């Protein structure tokens, strides 16, 4: 597993992968989702990366779990991470990763290696789907009782279009986790545009919502109810916001 860059630390039984996110952090993030009672339900995990949340949903008794990704799976992640660190250290904005032939390999999917290793070791029934959620045929994808949209929203160029598509595949609960922003007037539905590498030195970010902004966006996308389940800790300008959106 030396040539695999792990984003998630996954317990494979005889070992735990050395992921960028520690087991403790992942458990904290899971607790912040406030997802309850997945037994017998169908789950779609959009932007699943190594699949920790997909495998957790399976452990929680979900009857069917679909793990969907494309962008991360198409990247040579060790090279991409080295390039990102170099740009960060030099204080320059990375070029889009998908524009670099040495990093972008949608034909061989090198970034899916971690997911595949975990899938085999765990003898998992999670169903991987390689597709771009923003362009895939949603009718063919189907609808799900629970949709995970974790760490994706701020990476999309058109967030309203994205959430309208998420709404189409949801027949119950959608859990959205995103980078978020605190502003002085918390009642105004605002988004911050980050066109460069302003967040985490990463070129792949676009729109950072306020809590009111995300609520308004969910309503505009067609969700009937929106509830914040993990809001801003005191004193932070940026944080991870989690909402439950229901159809």
- SS3 sequence of the chain: CCCCCCCECCECCCCECCCCECHHHHHHHHHHHCCCCCCCCEEEEECCCCCHHHHHHHHCCCCEEEEEECCHHHECHHHHHHHHHHHHHHCCCCCCHHHCCCCECCCCCHHHHHHHHHHHHCCCCCEEEECCCCCCCHHHHCCEEEEEEECCHHHCCCHHHHHHHHHHHEEEEEEEEEEEECCCCCCCCCEEECCCCCCCCCCCCCEEECHHHHHHHHHHHCCCEEEEEECCCCCCCEEEEEEEEEC
Q: Give pLDDT, residue 243.
A: 98
- pLDDT for res 2: 56
| 193-238 pLDDT tens trace | 999 999 989 999 999 999 999 999 999 999 999 999 999 999 999 9
pLDDT tens profile 111-160:
999 999 999 999 999 999 999 999 999 999 999 999 999 999 999 999 99
pLDDT of residue 1: 45
Give the residue-averaged pLDDT of 91-101: 96
Q: 0.95 exceeded by the pTM?
A: yes
pLDDT above 90: percentage of residues in the chain? 97
Average pLDDT of 165-179?
A: 98
Tokens of 164: 């309208």
Query: What confidence score (pLDDT) does residue 220 get?
Result: 98
For domain 23-246, the CATH superfamily is Vaccinia Virus protein VP39 (3.40.50.150)
- What's the pLDDT band for 3 if we cut at 50, 70, 90? confident
């Amino acid at each position: 597993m030396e040539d695999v860059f792990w984003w998630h630390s996954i317990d494979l039984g005889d070992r735990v992968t050395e992921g960028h996110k520690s087991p403790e952090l992942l458990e904290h993030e899971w607790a912040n989702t406030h997802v309850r009672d997945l037994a017998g339900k169908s789950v779609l995990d959009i932007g699943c990366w190594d699949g920790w949340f997909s495998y957790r949903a399976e452990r929680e008794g979900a009857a069917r779990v679909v793990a969907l990704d494309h962008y991360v799976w198409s990247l040579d992640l060790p090279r991409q991470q080295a390039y990102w660190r170099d740009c960060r250290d030099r204080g320059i904005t990375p070029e889009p990763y998908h524009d670099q032939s040495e990093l972008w390999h949608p034909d061989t999917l090198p970034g899916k290696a971690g997911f595949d290793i975990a899938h085999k070791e765990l003898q998992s029934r999670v169903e991987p789907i390689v597709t771009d959620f923003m362009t895939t045929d949603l009718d063919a994808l189907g609808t799900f009782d629970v949709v995970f949209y974790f760490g994706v929203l701020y990476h999309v160029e058109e967030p309203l279009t994205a959430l309208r598509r998420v709404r189409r595949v949801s027949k119950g609960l959608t859990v959205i986790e995103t980078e978020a922003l605190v502003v002085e007037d918390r009642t105004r539905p605002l988004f911050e545009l980050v066109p460069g590498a302003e967040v985490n030195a990463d070129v792949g970010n676009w729109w950072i919502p306020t809590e009111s902004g995300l609520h308004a966006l969910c309503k505009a996308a067609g969700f009937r109810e929106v509830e914040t389940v993990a809001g801003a800790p005191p004193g932070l300008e940026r944080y991870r916001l989690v909402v439950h959106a229901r159809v």
